[in-house]
Chains A and B, each alone.
Chain A
C-alpha cells in the first residue's frame, strides 16, 4: 500500500510528561483514518507535529514515502498537509474570500482578486461545498465557519487533511453534510485523518481506526472488521458497558414550571420566545437545539443571571422571577453551564479546587473569614466520589484536564443538595469514561428525586439518558417528546424548525396537567 503519511517511533515530551511515546502510525493514500483516544491520550499533540506546531523529540515522519522535517506550519503546508483545528483560526471581520486569500502564497507580490475567486469557486464546486464567499465570518454559523476552514486548506493545495473534532459543534444534518464532503474529498484522492470521540461517527466515516491510549500507540484496526464495543475496549484498556442507564423513578409533582418565558440576549434580540415547560422531580428533561438557539439565555434566566422580559417561573409554588441569583440558589435551584471554553462560567480557573468548592456558599461561614477547612474536606469528598485526577485539593482548576474540571463543577453543584439541577453541556469535550461518570452522577441525582434540566449536544446521549426532550429552535419551543417514542430524525427536523408539534392532537406541550398555576393565574397569563 502506498502511504501518504508514515510516523515511526515518534516521541514528544513536555518537561517530565511524555505526551507521545514511540508512536507508529500510517495513513494510506485516499483513505479516511479515524484517530481515537480519550482526553489527554496525545491525539492533538501528535497531529500538531504533523502541522508543524511542535517538533518531535525523536522518531521520523515520512510524507509520500520521503523522509520529511516539519519545522513550521509553512513546511507542513508545503508538504500538502492541512489541519482544521478545533478552535477555528479565522479573522472574524473578514469575509470568507478574504480569509482564504490572506494565506495564499502567489508567485508575485499581488494576487489577482478574480483569479482567487475563480479558484475558490472551482474548489468549492468540486467537493460540493455550499458557501457564500462574501459573507463576513462574524455573521457565520459554526457549521459555515467549519466549511470555510476546510475549503481554506483545500485551496492551499492540501492533499492530506487533518480534522480535530470537527463534529463536536454540528447538528445531525450538518454532520451528514460534512461526511458527504469528506467522501467527495476521498474520491478525489485526498487522505484524511479525523479526530473524534464519537464512536458511531468513527464507524460511519472511517476506513481504518488508529487508537492511542495514555500517549501510547495501541493498534490500528479496519473499521469494517470491528465494532463500537471493541473500539471502546481498545481505547479505555478494559471492558466497559456502552449503555447509558435510564432508571425509571416515580415522578413527583412539577418542581419548576416555566410559562411564557421571554428573554433577550446580550445584543437585545429575543433569545427565548414565550417558552413553556416544567420539570418534575425524578426526571431528566433534555433540551435539544442547534448551538445558539437560546440555551445559554434560558439557563441564565432560570438562575437569575438574566433579566426576564416576560413570563413566569414558579418553583415549588413560589415565583422566582426577579430574585437574585443567590436567593434562587438558596431556593434549591442549582445551575452549571459548561461554555465552549469550558472555564468561562462557574469556575474561577486560577483558584484551587478548595476555593472553587465554596464559590456559592463562602458567605455562610460565620465571621469575616472564609472557612477553608471544611472547604478542603468537601473538595476531598468530591475528588474521591467523582474520581477527580489531581495532585491535591490546592491545585488550580486551570491545571486540571477537561474532564476533571467538569467533575469538580458538577460535584460542587450537587453537594449543595439542589432539588432542581440545571446542567448545560456537562460532557462537552469529555472522553467516554469521564462522560459515563457524569451520566452516573446525574442518574444518582435523579434517583434522589431531583429534577434535572440537561442541555445537551449529542442526540444519541440525550435519547438514552433523558426521560423527555424539549426541542427549541431560534428560542421557540418546537415540542416536547418522550425519548421512548421519538427518533433522532424527528428531533433533527424540530431543531431546524421544520417540524413543530407543540399543539399536536389538541394537547399543549410544556404545560403540566397538575400545574401549580391556579386557574386564576392561568387567565391572567393568557
Chain B
C-alpha cells in the first residue's frame, strides 16, 4: 500500500509556479555545476558566460544578439502555431516534419531565384513554404475528420518521413539535385543566391532581420485571432467540447481543417524565414523547434503572451549554453544540450509540482 498520493492543488497560483520553477532551475544548475567541476571548469564562470550569452567583454556582442534572434524566431512562431492546434485539442506533434517541408519548398524557390528582386523572392519562399506545409497539415486533419485516425501518430510519422527526405536530398549527388553545391565533390548543401537571403534594418553594425519583425507582428495577430475573432472562439469551443460545438451548429470538421492549415502553414512560414535568414538549408535546420515548441506551448499554457516570454527564455538558454560551451575545449555542444535537457525537465517537474502536491497518507493508528 502506497503511503503517498497525489492531490491536485485547489488553488493554482502564479507565484507558486514561478517559485517552483526557480527552485527547479537552481537544482538543475547545481547538477550542471557538479559536472562542470568534475570536468575542471569553474561553474560560475561558465554560467556567467551562459546567462550573458557571451555579451560581456565581447566587442562582437551584437553578433550574439543576432544569433539569439535566429533561434528565437522559429521557436516563437512554431510554438504559437502548435498552441493554435493544441487549443483545439488536436495533438499536432509534427512540427519537425512540417518545418522541413516548408524549408524544402522555400529552398526550391531560393535556388531558382537568381535575378528576381530580394523582396519578391523571400515572399515567394514564404508562400511556397506555407502552402506546402499547410497542405500536409490539412491532409492529416482530413484523415482525422473523415476516418477518425489518430493525429498524434500521423503527425509523428511525418517528422520521420521528412527527416529522411531531407537526408536523401542532402546525400544524393545527381544532376537533378540543385540543392547541392556543384563545385564540391562531396555531397554538400549549397548556399542560396543573394536574392534569397533575407535582409534587415541596420542599427550600426547590428542587423535586425525582417523575420524578427514578422514574428512579433504574428504574435500580436495570433493573440487577437484567438481572443477576439469568431475563428478563435470556434477553436476554444471545439477544444473544450466537440459535442457542444456540433450542437451549436458549428461544422467541426471545417474548423479542424482550417485550424490545422493555419497551424502547419505558420510552421512552414517559420521554416521559410529560417532558411532565408541562414542562406542555406541543412538536415539540422529545424534545431528541434518542432519538439521544443511543444514544451514552450505547454509551459505557456497555450496563452500567447506567456508563450512569447517563454520562447525568449528558452532561446536565451539554448543560445547561452551553446555560446558558453564553445569557449571551453573540455566540453562541446553536447554538454549544452545536456544542460538544457536537465533544465527543461526540472521546469516541467516544477510546473507539475505547482499544480499538484504529494499528500502523506497517515497510517491508521487503530488498525
Residue in contact with B240 in the complex, picked from A69, A74, A324, A349, CB distance below 8 Å: A349
> Is A359's CB under 8 angstroms from B364's CB?
no
A15 within 8 A of B: yes
B174: A residues at CB distance < 8 A? none
Q: Which of B240, B249, B363 has the most chain A CB atoms inside 10 A of its CB?
A: B249
Residue numbers in A under 8 Å from B14 (CB-CB): none
Contact for B236 among A72, A343, A351, A365, CB less than 8 A: A351
Decide: A370 and B243 in contact? CB cutoff 8 A. no
Cβ of B112 within 8 Å of any chain A Cβ, yes or no, is no
User: Is the Cβ of B247 less than 8 Å from the Cβ of A355?
Assistant: no
A370 with B367, Cβ < 8 A, contacts A349-B240, A362-B233 known: no
Residue of B229, B236, B244, B247 with most chain A CB atoms under a 10 A cut-off: B247
B236 nearest CB neighbor, chain A only: A351
User: Does A75 lie at the interface of the complex (its beta carbon under 8 Å from any beta carbon of B)?
Assistant: yes
How close is A241's CB to chain B, nearest CB, in angstroms? 35
The CB with the most chain B CB atoms within 10 A, among A71, A335, A360, A372, is that of: A71
Known A-B contacts A75-B367, A363-B230, A369-B228; A355 and B236 likewise in contact (beta carbons under 8 Å): yes
Bound Cα distance from A305 to B243, whole angstroms: 10
The answer to the question of B231 belonging to the interface, with a C-beta cut-off of 8 Å to chain A, is: yes
| Contact A346 B367, beta carbon cutoff 8 Å | no
Nearest residue in B to A66 (C-beta to C-beta)? B366
Q: B10, B241, B249: which contacts A326 (Cβ < 8 A)?
A: B249
Whether B244 lies near A362 (C-beta < 8 A) is no
Chain B residues lying within 8 Å of A78, measured Cβ to Cβ, are 364, 367
Q: Any chain A CB within 8 A of the CB of B271?
A: no
Give A325-343 as 1s and 0s: 1 = Cβ < 8 Å from B's Cβ atoms: 1100100000101000001
In residues 208-246 of chain B, which contact A (Cβ within 8 Å)?
228-233, 236-237, 240-241, 243-246
Total count of chain A residues near the partner, CB < 8 A: 37
| Complex Cα spacing A338 to B87, Å | 25
A329 touches B237 (CB 8 A): no
> Contact flags (1/0) for A347-374 with B, using CB distance below 8 Å?
1111100010011101101001110100
Contacts A71-B363, A71-B364 given; indicate if A15 touches B231 (C-beta within 8 A): no
The answer to whether B243 and A69 have CB atoms under 8 Å apart is: no
Say whether B230 contacts A365, CB under 8 Å. Answer: yes
B362 and A71 within 8 A (CB): yes
Residues of A contacting B236 in the complex (Cβ-Cβ under 8 angstroms): 348, 350-351, 355
CB distance from B241 to the nearest CB of A (A): 5
Contact A305 B244 (CB under 8 A): no
Closest beta carbon of chain B to A332's beta carbon, Å: 14
Give the residue of B10, B240, B241, B248 whose beta carbon is less than 8 angstroms from that of A360: B248
Q: State whether A368 and B244 are in contact (beta carbons under 8 Å apart), knowing that A68-B366, A69-B365, A69-B366 are contacts in the complex.
A: no
Give the dominant DSSP class at A's interface.
loop
Residues of B within 8 A of A329 (CB): 249
Q: Which residues of A contact B59 (CB under 8 A)?
A: none
A346 touches B362 (CB 8 A): no
On whether the beta carbons of A348 and B247 are closer than 8 Å, the reply is no
Interface 1/0 per residue, B258-279 and A, CB below 8 Å:
0000000000000000000000
| Complex contact B249–A355 (CB within 8 A) | no
Contact with B246, one of A305, A335, A355 (Cβ below 8 angstroms): A305
Kindly state whether residue A189 has any CB partner on chain B within 8 Å. Answer: no
B1-17: which residues lie under 8 A (CB-CB) from chain A? 1, 10-11
A420 part of interface (Cβ distance < 8 Å): no
- Any chain B CB within 8 A of the CB of A344? yes
Q: Which residue of B lies closest to A329 (CB)?
A: B249
B185 in the interface (beta carbon within 8 A): no
B229:A368 contact, CB within 8 angstroms: yes
Pick from B240, B248, B362 the residue with the most CB of A within 10 Å.
B248
B361 interface hit (Cβ, 8 Å): yes
Tell which of A348, A349, A363 has the most Cβ of chain B within 10 Å: A348
B1-36 near A? 1/0 per residue, CB < 8 Å: 100000000110000000000000000000000000
- Contact partner of A75 (CB less than 8 A), chosen from B10, B244, B247, B364, is B364
Pairwise interchain contact A370-B10, C-beta atoms closer than 8 A: no
Within 8 Å by CB of A362, from B1, B230, B240, B247, lies: B230
How many angstroms between the C-alpha atoms of A370 and B224 in the bound complex?
Answer: 11
Give B172 Cβ to nearest chain A Cβ, in Å. Answer: 46
> How many whole Å from B344's CB to the nearest CB in chain A?
27
Q: Identify A325's interface contact among B1, B11, B241, B247, CB under 8 A.
A: B247
Per the bound structure, the CA–CA distance linking A69 and B247 in Å amounts to 48
Given the known A-B contacts A15-B11, A369-B228, are A72 and B364 also in contact in the complex, defined by CB atoms under 8 Å?
yes
Whether B248 pairs with A359 at a CB distance below 8 angstroms is yes
A110 located at the interface, meaning its Cβ lies under 8 Å from any Cβ of chain B in the complex:
no
B237, A305: Cβ atoms closer than 8 Å: no
A278-B331 Cα distance, complex, nearest whole Å? 81
Residues of B within 8 A of A138 (CB): none
Q: Give chain B residues whose Cβ lies under 8 Å from the Cβ of A348.
A: 236-237, 240-241, 244-245
Given A75-B367, A369-B230, CB of A359 within 8 Å of CB of B244 = yes
* Chain A residue at minimal CB-CB distance from B362: A71
CB distance from A18 to the nearest CB of B (A): 13
Which residues from B are CB-within-8-Å of A305? 246-247
Chain A residue at minimum C-beta to C-beta distance from B241: A348
The winner among B229, B241, B245, B361 for most chain A CB atoms within 10 A is: B241
Report the Cα distance A68→B240, complex, angstroms: 43
Q: Is A303 an interface residue when CB atoms closer than 8 A count as contact? A: yes
Question: Of residues 315 to 367 in B, which have CB atoms within 8 Å of A's CB atoms?
Answer: 361-367
Q: A345 touching B230 by the CB < 8 A rule? A: no
Cβ contacts under 8 Å, A346 to chain B:
244, 247
10 A-B pairs closest in CB distance: A326-B249, A348-B240, A325-B249, A359-B248, A75-B364, A370-B233, A350-B240, A348-B237, A71-B362, A345-B243
Q: List 29 A-B contacts (CB under 8 A).
A: A14-B10, A71-B364, A72-B361, A75-B364, A75-B366, A78-B364, A305-B246, A324-B249, A325-B247, A329-B249, A337-B247, A345-B243, A345-B244, A346-B244, A348-B240, A348-B244, A350-B236, A351-B236, A355-B237, A359-B237, A360-B249, A362-B230, A363-B230, A365-B230, A368-B230, A368-B231, A370-B228, A370-B229, A370-B232
